[in-house]
A and B are shown apart, each in its own frame.
Chain A
Amino acid sequence: MEKRVRFESRWLPYALVAPQIAITLIFFFWPAFQTLYQSLLLEDAFGGSREFVGLQNFRELFHDDDYLNSFRVTAVFSVLVTVLGLSISLVLAVLADRVVRGAHAYKTLLIWPYAVAPAVAAVLWLFLFSPTLGIVAHWLQGMGIDWNPLLNDNDALILIVVAAVWKQISYNFLFFLAGLQSIPRSLIEAAAIDGAGPVKRFVTIVFPLLSPTTFFLVVVNIVYAFIDTFGIVDAATGGGPGKATSILVYKIYYDGFKGLDLGGSAAQSAVLMAILIALTVVQFRFIERKVQY
């Protein structure tokens, strides 16, 4: 789509885009270029020597057990966050869509966690799940569960999954609710007249009609689990115990800032960038086609 009416000026449009382009160049393109360039170098952490090593950093990366493990942890983590987050919010949205009285109150009470910073969400759950003083941990121990996220890999993973899902429920809920409300009532009523009960209506009509929303949310949640959960991991577990919760984005930070392995960290950034670009492309191709039904 193009405008028919335009203004004429030799310099004004450049002046108007200049601030955004300047920031883009200085803080996005130059660092991204540096990341790609550094990923091909072997650099002394204190700036002493640098040597061009081609793809060696990448080769080492994919032979590094820690990195492969980080990939595995990220995969498990993002699948859990996406599946649990979407299922819980879908149930809540379907129910909230059903109620006549109090729908607005439920909505308000369910959306506020979106406002909580990931790192703060992590601190709240860290406190609840702390093996020595957490109240939820206390209940779990009362049930005979040996709960300790400081020592047990799975417990630590559960901790960050719970915090990440809790924070993301609001977002999924809002989009599911909007999707549900855009389904024509006449379709549901017609099915009800034909004798389909609530469960049958959901399975055969509502869920298929929600598929564009669901697909969109799957992509958004995967990106969320890959990128935005850095604060959760850093504040709740610090990647531990051992490397059990060191997801890709955390490992980039850890190797770069704590381990001072600049080339390796840059190579990991490049890989993550590629994953992100792929996800964005998938999302945009889908929006162009808009899944017809």
Chain B
Amino acid sequence: MVENRPLLTFFTHLILILGVACVAFPLYVTFVASTLTAEQAQLAPMPLVPGEKMIENYRQVLTEGSARGSSAPVSRMLFNSLVSALAIAVGKIAISLISAFAIVYFRFPLRSTFFWMIFITLMLPVEVRILPTYKVIADLGMINTYAGLTLPLIASATATFLFRQFFLTIPDELAEAARIDGAGPLRFLWDVVIPLSRTNIAALFVITFLYGWNQYLWPLLVTTDEAMYTTVIGIKRMITGGDAATEWNLVMTTALLAMLPPALVVVLMQRWFVKGLVDTEK
């Protein structure tokens, strides 16, 4: 701080606390709603102190699901979300790592063509090519499979760029030393490049995990079987239309369960998360 102005400092904290409160308010209401009975959650206004149905609500959504709308248990959906988020994160990192390695450490025909092909995927998010991508997945028989949920999302221009940028900063002496010691390219990749890339891998993992967990449009299209729903889709399917028909206490319980894993990743791995965000946008 440049100068001491107690009044200004007071207002700074006041506005920040207000900001934090506004940001956290929906979370608090979600939590309270997840502890109420369906009737209490439908009162206008609903109570703002937690009720007594918390354990019951969580047990019900995890083991039985909602009675109306979608009825798959949420534990199954959380499992689906976890599998696809992990597959997307690991897949993106793995294929980007090796393709960046090839582009940096080899000179071969079509090298820059490949690089540009990967670059262009940046401008083709799934939202602008939904119908034909859906048709490809349908033709391959991948509707309602984990492969169908994840494969079309794991090409990653940003991860490839990040690894390429990083590999370019690895001193040439390391590669020379490895060659003199008789290490081939794969040995060099495994024993030198990957250990050096650990920080980048951790940062990318956080970002790609969030990306995978929070997917909406794609799982909405490729999952028609309730047993394959991800949590985010499950919530949407629980809202059957009409406030009277929706069991809002269970919807909010599920919403809290859907937010918890990614929010924990962000808060607990904050350092990697911030690094991942800033690096991938460079």
Contacts of A230 in B (CB 8 A): 127, 216-217
- Closest chain B CB from A124 CB (angstroms): 4
A3 to B176, CA, bound (A): 11
Chain A CB count within 10 A is highest, among B48, B132, B213, for: B132
Q: Which of B39-47, B54-62, B72-80 contacts A (4 or more CB under 8 A)?
A: B39-47
Contacts of A185 in B (CB 8 A): 2
Known contacts A7-B185, A99-B12, A252-B130, A109 near B20 by CB under 8 Å: yes
CB contact list, A172-191 vs B, under 8 A: 174-175, 178, 185, 188-189
Tell me whether chain B's interface is mostly helix, strand or loop, or mixed: helix
- The interface on chain A, measured as residues whose beta carbon lies within 8 A of the other chain's beta carbons, has a size of 102
The answer to whether A12 touches B185 (Cβ under 8 A) is yes
A64 to B131, CA, bound (A): 21
Contacts of B86 in A (CB 8 A): none
CB contact list, A104-121 vs B, under 8 A: 106-121
Known contacts A34-B132, A123-B251, A171-B277, A276 near B125 by CB under 8 Å: yes
Render B108-132 as a binary contact track against A, CB cut-off 8 A, 1 for contact.
Answer: 1001001001101111110111111
User: Which residue on chain A has the smallest CB distance to residue B159?
Assistant: A20
Render A109-151 as a binary contact track against B, CB cut-off 8 A, 1 for contact.
Answer: 1111111111111011111101011110111000000000000
The answer to whether A3 touches B105 (Cβ under 8 A) is yes
**Which residue of B128, B175, B213 contacts A276 across the interface (Cβ within 8 Å)?**
B128
B172 at the interface (CB under 8 A from A): yes
The answer to whether B108 touches A13 (Cβ under 8 A) is yes
**Which residue of B15, B43, B255 contacts A91 across the interface (Cβ within 8 Å)?**
B15
Q: Contacts A130-B243, A133-B41, A257-B130 known; list 18 others, CB within 8 Å.
A: A13-B108, A30-B136, A32-B128, A108-B270, A115-B210, A117-B213, A127-B33, A127-B248, A128-B25, A133-B44, A133-B248, A137-B44, A174-B277, A227-B128, A234-B220, A249-B127, A262-B131, A265-B131
Interface residues, chain B, with chain A CB atoms under 8 Å away: 1-3, 5, 8-9, 12-13, 15-16, 19-20, 23-27, 29-30, 33, 41-46, 48, 94-96, 98-99, 101-108, 111, 114, 117-118, 120-125, 127-133, 135-136, 151-152, 154-155, 160, 168, 172, 175-176, 179, 184-186, 188, 210, 213-217, 220-221, 232, 235-236, 239, 243, 248, 251-252, 255, 258-259, 262-263, 265-267, 270, 273-274, 277-278, 281-282
